[in-house]
């Protein structure tokens, strides 16, 4: 999260109505590919994702399923879910470069990031103030694959 000035950021906010999380968007950003990981993957750059609430599911901020995804200069904050409140990735490839995951809360595992059957690359990522009732307040990886 290294952008110069707030004008460089696009904000996706899950806040839908009344203050508090009870009516917020279930997933603020969903990236999925039903037929498998597409060649070249997907890139998200210069974005703030906040206030998602997948209270009975996974990935309140970002849900990445069956994809190659590169998050660069992305901030995910104040999201809630069962697993991977900030970012939930399963299966596929996930690269996170110059990102911040801040103040996300999981009722199970992986407050900031949760991954399963994922090739994971984390470079210059700040995890702060994330929490999980189970394991991995910042990061929980159930199983990983080599990153090419």
Query: Encoding tokens for residue 117?
Result: 């059957």
pLDDT surpassing 90 at residue 111: yes
DSSP string, 66-96: EEEEEEEEEEEES-EEEE-SSEEEEEEEEEE
Output the furthest CA–CA distance in the chain (Å, rounded).
44
How large is the average pLDDT for residues 5-25?
72
Query: Encoding tokens for residue 32?
Result: 């999925």
DSSP 128: E
- Using alpha carbons, list the distances in angstroms from residue 118 to 2, 16, 123, 137: 25, 31, 16, 18
Query: Encoding tokens for residue 114?
Result: 């949760």
pLDDT surpassing 70 at residue 4: no
**31-83 pLDDT per residue, tens:** 988 666 665 678 899 999 999 998 889 999 999 998 889 999 999 999 999 99
Distance CA 10, CA 113 (A): 21
pTM higher than 0.95 for the full model?
A: no
Distance CA 79, CA 50 (A): 6
DSSP string, 86-127: SEEEEEEEEEEES-EEES-EESSS-SSEEEEEEEEEEES-EE
Instruction: Count how many residues are written for the chain.
Output: 148
């Amino acid at each position: 999260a290294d952008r110069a000035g707030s004008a460089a950021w696009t904000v996706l906010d899950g806040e839908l109505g009344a203050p508090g999380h009870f009516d917020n968007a279930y997933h603020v950003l969903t990236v999925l590919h039903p037929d498998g990981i597409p060649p070249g993957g997907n890139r998200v750059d210069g974005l703030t994702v906040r206030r998602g609430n997948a209270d009975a599911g996974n990935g309140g901020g970002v849900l990445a399923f069956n994809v190659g995804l590169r998050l660069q200069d992305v901030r995910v904050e104040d999201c809630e879910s069962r697993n991977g409140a900030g970012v939930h990735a399963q299966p596929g490839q996930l690269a996170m470069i110059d990102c911040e995951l801040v103040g996300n809360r999981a009722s199970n595992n992986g407050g900031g990031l949760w991954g399963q059957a994922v090739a994971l690359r984390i470079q210059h990522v700040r995890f702060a103030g994330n929490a999980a009732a189970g394991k991995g307040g910042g990061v929980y990886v159930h199983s990983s694959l080599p990153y090419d």
